[in-house]
């Protein structure tokens, strides 16, 4: 019989595949709980994809917030991802404010507002990707604080910014602009050229600065890695994909707006398997 956690694993596989593959390499005792976190992340990250306008999206995100805050929902019993998530929160005594903040951050996804600044982008990444890494660390450390908040903060920013650059063509096609306004202004990039699919020297300059920023955060993760317990290493495993993705972004010529940047599944699986024992050595 399929359980809530089986359904969560399938949801993670469909909508957060890199993290799903990482969870498969985690200790079996914590694997199902990680899948529930990654399934939840996949569900809230794709809200814009399943609604036609922002208001229904806000309603969906509010449903998750209400659920996490303890408000009764008759439909919750029929949502296996929600059930698996609640079971994980209870089993590991996870702080509910973290997934609540993740849902609140995703409201930005529903609109076409320009990300105001690099600082705001880091805040968005912190409330989404960094929070998810820290929750995974708590699970892998059996619910006890592993002291990984700083490392998770830098790791989440590096992973999220790389993902946003990889998805630039997709976001541009629907007039979403995650490239920070202050960085765009610094390099005189007109967002309208991005929306029109025009790759310019100014766009290359913005992306180059963001790649440098990602590598700065990777360096900070490496410096913090000594403070990460071995039990939590799997939470940081997605980071082994960051540098290979950055190199792909650098070598894509002449048009980073042509299509999302990705690697073959075979290469992704090999990189994750190779990095699973000592992920920080592969950053």
CATH number at residue 200: 1.10.600.10
Q: Output the pLDDT for position 76.
A: 64
Of 78, 111, 144, which residue sits at a domain end? 111
Given pLDDT bands bounded at 50, 70 and 90, which one contains residue 1? Answer: very low
Q: Are residues 100 and 125 in the same domain?
A: no
Q: Are residues 175 and 103 in the same domain?
A: no
What domain count does the chain have?
Answer: 2
Distance CA 63, CA 75 (A): 10
pLDDT, tens digit, for every residue of 214-228? 999 999 999 999 999
pLDDT over 70, % of the chain:
96
Is residue 15 included in any domain, yes or no? yes
Residue 244 lies in domain: 115-263
Q: Output the pLDDT for position 86.
A: 94
Is residue 281 included in any domain, yes or no? no
Is residue 269 included in any domain, yes or no? no
The answer to whether 203 and 194 have CB atoms below 8 angstroms apart is yes
Is residue 276 included in any domain, yes or no? no
Q: Output the pLDDT for position 77.
A: 61
Q: Are residues 45 and 152 in the same domain?
A: no
Other residues' Cβ atoms within 10 Å of the Cβ of residue 57:
21
* Mean pLDDT score, 227-250: 96
Q: Are residues 124 and 258 in the same domain?
A: yes
User: Burial of 1 by CB count in 10 Å (0-12 exposed, 13-18 middle, 19+ buried)?
Assistant: exposed
Which of 209, 198, 132, 227 has the alpha carbon at shortest distance from 165? 209
Is residue 83 included in any domain, yes or no? yes
Is residue 70 included in any domain, yes or no? yes
pLDDT over 90, % of the chain:
89
pTM above 0.85, yes or no: yes
Q: Are residues 15 and 57 in the same domain?
A: yes
């Amino acid at each position: 019989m399929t359980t809530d956690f089986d359904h969560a694993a399938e949801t993670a596989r469909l909508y957060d595949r890199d993290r799903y593959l990482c969870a498969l390499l985690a200790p079996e005792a914590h694997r199902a709980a990680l899948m529930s976190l990654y399934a939840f992340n996949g569900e809230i990250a794709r809200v814009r994809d399943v609604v036609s306008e922002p208001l229904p999206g806000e309603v969906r995100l509010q449903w998750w917030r209400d659920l996490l805050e303890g408000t009764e929902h008759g439909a919750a019993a029929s949502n296996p991802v929600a059930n698996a998530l609640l079971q994980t929160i209870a089993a590991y005594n996870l702080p509910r404010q973290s997934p609540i903040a993740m849902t609140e951050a995703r409201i930005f996804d529903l609109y076409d507002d320009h990300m105001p600044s690099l600082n705001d982008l880091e805040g968005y990444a912190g409330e989404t990707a960094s929070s998810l890494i820290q929750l995974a660390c708590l699970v892998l450390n059996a619910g006890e604080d592993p002291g990984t908040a700083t490392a998770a903060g830098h790791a989440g920013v590096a992973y999220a910014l790389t993902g946003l650059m990889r998805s630039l063509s997709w976001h541009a096609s629907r007039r979403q602009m995650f490239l920070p306004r202050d960085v765009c202004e610094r390099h005189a990039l007109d967002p309208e050229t991005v929306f029109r699919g025009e790759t310019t020297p100014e766009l290359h300059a913005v992306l180059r600065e963001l790649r440098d920023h990602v590598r700065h955060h990777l360096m900070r993760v490496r410096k913090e890695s000594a403070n990460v317990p071995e039990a939590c290493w799997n939470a940081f495993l997605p980071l082994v994909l960051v540098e290979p993705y950055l190199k792909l972004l650098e070598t894509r010529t002449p048009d980073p707006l042509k299509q999302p940047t990705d690697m073959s599944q075979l290469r992704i699986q090999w990189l994750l398997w190779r990095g699973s024992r000592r992920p920080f050595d592969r950053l």
